[in-house]
């Protein structure tokens, strides 16, 4: 399973490295979201600073939709999804590989967005450990959930419009918990940030486990 996961993740990341969709389209889109929020809330810079954590994760969430759509779009061209089924790869390995590739792209994107909120929103980063662990665990959850819903929508003609409707409500807990944890890490809340990280951890474990078990049947039916 892990050998297959590494093979699929390597393939997806190689495709992204060659096509540069993530760097030329997804990352600029995410930065644009931050800039547009800045335009909308500019008169009161204090609001931007206060809302930075939430705006960061909203931008990550929107970008994750693009990354997941892209991940399954490459499998739709020329019936590559049939090729993937025919390959004999372990479906659980395919799930882990595709989710890992999406997660790797999102983590790189979060670095760019982190620089963005410091630059545009005048935010100071405090609790480095909490920030980093939150990013890691939330990203695993987002990538796993996105990959599950991505394969669910992959075989449908309306997949581009259906995916956000499936993913956004499902990952609302990630948005909530990651935002709360970041508010603590940015010094904007005295809450226990690690409690929110635990919630993110539960979410990630549930979706990774569900994906490992369900991806095979979903792939067959897609």
Partner 1 sequence: MPLAVRFRAAVSLLGRFPALAGVDLDVAGGEVVLVQGPNGAGKTTLLRAAAGLVAVASGEAEVLGHDLTRDRRAVRRRVGLLGHATFLYDDLSVADNVRFAVRAAGRNRSIDDALAKLELDGRVRDVAVARLSAGQRRRVAIAALVARQPDLWLLDEPHAGLDADGRDLLDGLVAGAAADGSAVLIASHELERAGAIAHRTVTMAGGQIHAASGPVAPLAPEAREPAGVS
Residues that bind partner 1 (CB under 8 A): 4, 7, 11, 14-15, 18-19, 74, 77-80, 82-89, 216, 220
Q: Report, in Å, the least distance between residue 12 CB and partner 1.
A: 9
3-state secondary structure at position 164: helix
DSSP letter for 209, please: H
Q: Report, in Å, the least distance between residue 111 CB and partner 1.
A: 24
Nearer to partner 1 (CB atom), residue 179 or residue 222:
222
Nearer to partner 1 (CB atom), residue 100 or residue 179:
100
Nearer to partner 1 (CB atom), residue 48 or residue 66:
66
Nearest-angstrom CA–CA distance, 166 and 169: 6
Scan for tokens 């970008």, then name that residue: 63
Nearer to partner 1 (CB atom), residue 5 or residue 144:
5
Q: Which helix (H) or strand (E) holds 99?
A: helix 91-121
Nearest-angstrom CA–CA distance, 196 and 192: 7
* Under 8 Å between Cβ of 90 and 212: no
Q: Report, in Å, the least distance between residue 83 CB and partner 1.
A: 3
Which among 108, 97, 95, 1 has a CA at the least distance from the CA of 64?
Answer: 108
Q: Report, in Å, the least distance between residue 205 CB and partner 1.
A: 26
């Amino acid at each position: 399973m892990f050998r297959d996961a590494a093979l699929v993740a390597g393939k997806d990341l190689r495709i992204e490295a060659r096509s540069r969709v993530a760097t030329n389209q997804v990352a600029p889109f995410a930065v644009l979201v931050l800039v547009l929020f800045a335009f909308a809330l500019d008169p009161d810079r204090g609001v931007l600073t206060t809302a930075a954590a939430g705006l960061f994760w909203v931008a990550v969430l929107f970008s994750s939709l693009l990354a997941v759509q892209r991940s399954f779009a490459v499998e739709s061209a020329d019936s590559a999804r049939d090729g993937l089924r025919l390959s004999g790869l372990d479906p659980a390995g395919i799930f882990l590989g595709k989710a890992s590739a999406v997660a790797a792209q999102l983590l790189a994107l979060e670095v760019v967005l982190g620089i963005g909120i410091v630059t545009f929103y005048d935010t100071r980063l405090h609790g480095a450990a909490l920030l980093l662990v939150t990013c890691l665990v939330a990203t695993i959850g987002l990538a796993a959930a996105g990959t599950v819903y991505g394969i669910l929508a992959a075989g449908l003609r309306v997949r581009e419009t259906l995916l956000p409707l499936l993913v956004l409500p499902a990952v609302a807990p990630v948005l909530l918990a990651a935002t709360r944890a970041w508010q603590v890490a940015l010094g904007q809340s005295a809450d226990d940030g690690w409690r929110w990280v635990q919630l993110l951890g539960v979410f990630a474990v549930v979706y990774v486990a569900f994906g490992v078990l369900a991806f095979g049947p979903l792939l067959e039916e897609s």
